[in-house]
Amino acid sequence: MENKKKGFNLRSIIPLATAIVALVFIVVGLKDYGFWNKNQPTPGFFPIIIAVVLLASSIACFIQIARDKDSEDVKYNRNELMVMLGAAGIILCTFLIGLVPSCLIYIFLWLKFVEHAPWKVILIIEVIMAAIILGVFTAWLQIRFPVGLLGDLIF
Amino acid sequence: MENFVSLLNGFQVALAPENIGVCLLGAVLGLVVGAMPGIGSLAGCALLLPLTYKFNPTTAIIMLGALYYSNMYGGSFSAILLNIPGDSPAITTALDGYPMARKGRPGQALMAANVASFLGGTIGILILTLTASGLATLGLKFGYAEMTLILLIAMTSISWLIGENPIKGIVITMLGILVASIGMDTLSGAPRYEFGNMYLLGGIPFTPFIIGCVGFAQVIKLINEREADEKKRSSEDSKTKLSIRESMLTAHDFKRILPPIIRSGVMGTFVGVLPGSGATTGSMVGYAMQKKFKSEEPMGTGAIEGIAASEAANNAAAAGAFAPLLALGIPGSGTGAVLLGGLMMWGLNPGPLLFDSNPEFCWGLISSMYMANIFTLAVAILVIPFLIKILSVPVKYMIPIITCVCIVGAYSTSNSMYGVIVMFISGIVGYLLDKNGFPTAPMLLAFVLAPMLEKNMRKAFIASQGSLRIFVDSPLKLVLLAVFLVLVLTPVVKSIRRKLRAKKAQA
């Protein structure tokens, strides 16, 4: 997933995104919340000023990146995407089987198939995590974690 | 004298059994989290923040304070034994700590780090005791305009100090402020930038946002450190056996470490007080200062003076950072921002009035830092024989564990999957920003300070009926404005000078 320096530079995405965010805040602010009314600042006053500064600095940053030919390209790693997909998987599975089982299944799958950890290690980590989630969060902090569709059907 | 009487009253609060218990728990957790390479005090505090919700604000902040404080101790363990700094303030400790361990004195290197952390921290807490309430009294004289300028200085200084690119610092700071402005208007309470979404009406929840930006983003980065971690662990140095008796320092060692500890302790405290600096800058300044003094062995080759200077400075800075946090409501670092956010969630408003309105809280916290310092030293010495086991948890096993802690923690603080989704999105955004050289700490600081800045700025304009004169009508305001302008213009001037020099060199 290495980005090439030909054409559009991937490093420019951040200033572009922040410039878009700034524009949205300026337009919505001016349209819905105003800037100044009867010698007093309105709710839009502060965010609009900040958004204008953000827009200007984003443009400056974009130009800086476009001119900079010497710095190394940002390298993305497939494994980083796997961590994100893993967390996204837990969130999606929570709606089906609940948060606690999703976390424990994720830990098992990650350790077994990504890290190829021995069974003993997997078992120890599963027990520790179950103790932390159920002991600290559920029993001590009294957090009621979502049980998902399956939990709703069973209970 | 008055401060010491208040401190004694603070000890009555800190010595409550519950507070002693959480202080000890914070010390142990901080040491463990600090020793784990790659997590750091910022992520550690963010991940453990949900655990404190069960407590009252004083107990909760005592635990967090002890955690933050002991983290500084823990960071040196992996730096000395594995050459992997547990946290950024321990980078300079590794420069001499690891070579000293390789010379066959790992135990003494650890002990020197512990003693220096303890004494440096004590110096920092003493200075905090003497100055914090005075700073708060000074703060009471500040009106809306002065507070606006101070908050601007705090935000600007951290943007410049973290990262080398001032433009990126501005972008990230402004982004943090805009994210904080989602939800409700700070003065009128009217909905603002909620885009018709009922969840956004309550704003972006603080803890899930912090857990995501720091904790989850860190996990995504950790995946790339797996191989380097494995290699370092397979080396023989990481299989050293340690005992407390063999780790004891000699009288000669004490003679060598005492002067750098005192120097760096005092210097580190003042660095910590400055907005935007924190423990990392403290340890670097302390180490750099030690280079100017004579050491028995050359610095960087295992000089015990280097370890002492770095560790004393970072612990002193960690203590010093509490002064502006409590007295003015201005955090000195990203971790300070997490602590400030925690305080706000418990309904406390750090600032000049806090010492008057909640003296038992302020002095209870300060006195608990003395306790935390002693507890952490005791625990840090006792764990020396078990350090190899603590440090032997490979990074690859930490990834699924921290991911789940992030998700469970984000849910528990918001009692809704909305918190988990905020954590997930802010984690990815935080990771992308960091990957592209945008430091996330200024964003967190801006996120926490933005409501205060907006409130003070708007009230100043309302009081002056829209006139800008309110920001320049007294000598103090002019000084503050000058400091702000210097902070804004210095990096610009530096950048121009650098370019001119490069052009000259080319010619």
Domain range list for chain B: 2-473
Q: Categorize the per-residue pLDDT at A9 as very low, low, confident or very high, splitting at 50, 70 and 90.
A: low
Contact with chain A for residue B433, Cβ under 8 A: yes
Helix (H) or strand (E) holding B209: helix B206-210
Please report, in angstroms and rounded to a whole number, the separation of the first and last CA atoms in chain A: 45
3-state secondary structure of B184: strand
Note whether A82 and A149 are same-domain residues. Answer: yes
End-to-end CA gap in chain B? 64
Does any CB of chain A come closer than 8 Å to the CB of residue B53? Answer: yes
Give mean pLDDT, residues B282-286. Answer: 84
Q: Smallest Cα–Cα separation from B420: which of A89, A132, A17? A: A89
Among the residue ranges A13-17, B22-26, B99-103, B340-344, the one predicted with the least confidence is: B340-344
Query: Minimal Cα–Cα distance from B382 to chain A, Å?
Result: 23
Q: Which of B318, B418, B415, B321 is nearest to B376 (CA)?
A: B318
B181–A21 C-beta distance less than 8 A = no
A41 and A98 assigned to the same domain: no
Do both A130 and A92 map to the same domain? yes
What is the CA angle B98-B102-B106, rounded to 5? Answer: 70
CB of B393 closer than 8 Å to CB of B183: no
Residue at A30 is within a domain: yes
Q: What is the rounded distance in angstroms from the CA atom of residue B227 to the CA atom of residue B217?
A: 19
Please state, as a whole number, how many other Cβ atoms lie within 10 Å of the Cβ of residue A35: 16
A61 and B403: CB-CB below 8 Å? no
Same domain? For A131 and A99 the reply is yes
A16 and A51, same domain (yes or no)? yes
Phi/psi at B464 (nearest 5 deg)? -95, 5
Q: Which of A77, A91, A99 sits opposite B224 (nearest CB)?
A: A77
Neighbours of B246 (CB within 10 A): 14
What is the Cα–Cα distance from B304 to B311, expressed in whole angstroms? 11
Task: Provide the 3-class DSSP secondary structure of residue B382.
Answer: helix
Mutate to test the interface with A, among B229, B407, B417, B465 (most CBs of A within 10 A): B407
Instruction: Give the list of residues 6+ apart from residue B176 with CB closer than 8 angstroms, or none.
Output: B442, B443, B444, B445, B446, B447, B450
CA distance B230 to B228: 5
Report angle CA B445, B42, B357 to the nearest 5 degrees: 60
Mean pLDDT of chain B: 84
In angstroms, the CA A144 to CA B479 distance is 53
Give the number of domains in chain A: 2
Beta-bridged to residue A40, according to DSSP, are A37
Residues A84 and A125 in one domain: yes
The Cβ of residue B499 has, within 10 Å, a number of other Cβ atoms equal to 10
- Given a cut of 80, whether residue B232 has pLDDT beyond it is no
CA distance B60 to B22: 8
Count of CA atoms in the C-beta half-sphere (13 A) of B170: 22
Distance (Å) from the alpha carbon of B191 to chain A's nearest alpha carbon:
9
A57 & A82 share domain: no
Tokens of B430: 């935080």
Q: Name the DSSP letter for residue B183.
A: E
Among partner residues A14, A107, A140, which is closest to B400 by beta-carbon distance?
A107
Q: Within this chain, do residues A85 and A145 fall inside the same structural domain, yes or no?
A: yes
Report pLDDT for B233: 62
Q: Which of B47, B38, B43, B44 is nearest to B87 (CA)?
A: B38
Interface test with B, best of A63, A65, A80, A126 (most B CBs within 10 A): A80
Q: pLDDT for A52-110, tens place per residue?
A: 999 999 999 999 888 877 777 777 888 889 999 999 999 999 999 999 999 999 999 99
Residue A130 included in any domain: yes
A88 and A58 in a single domain? The answer is no
* Span B122-152, pLDDT tens digits: 999 999 898 888 877 877 788 899 989 988 8
pLDDT digits (tens, 9 = 90+) for B327-377: 888 876 777 888 888 887 777 777 778 888 888 888 888 888 899 899 999
Strand pairing report for B183-184 and A40-41: unpaired
Determine contact: B506 vs chain A, CB below 8 A. Answer: no
A25/B220 CB distance under 8 A? no
Distance from C-alpha of B52 to C-alpha of A32, rounded to nearest angstrom: 39
CB contact under 8 A, A137 and B412: yes
pLDDT of A2 higher than 50: no
Mean pLDDT of B156-161: 61
A130 pLDDT band (50/70/90 cuts)? Answer: very high
Residue A34 sits in which domain range? 10-67
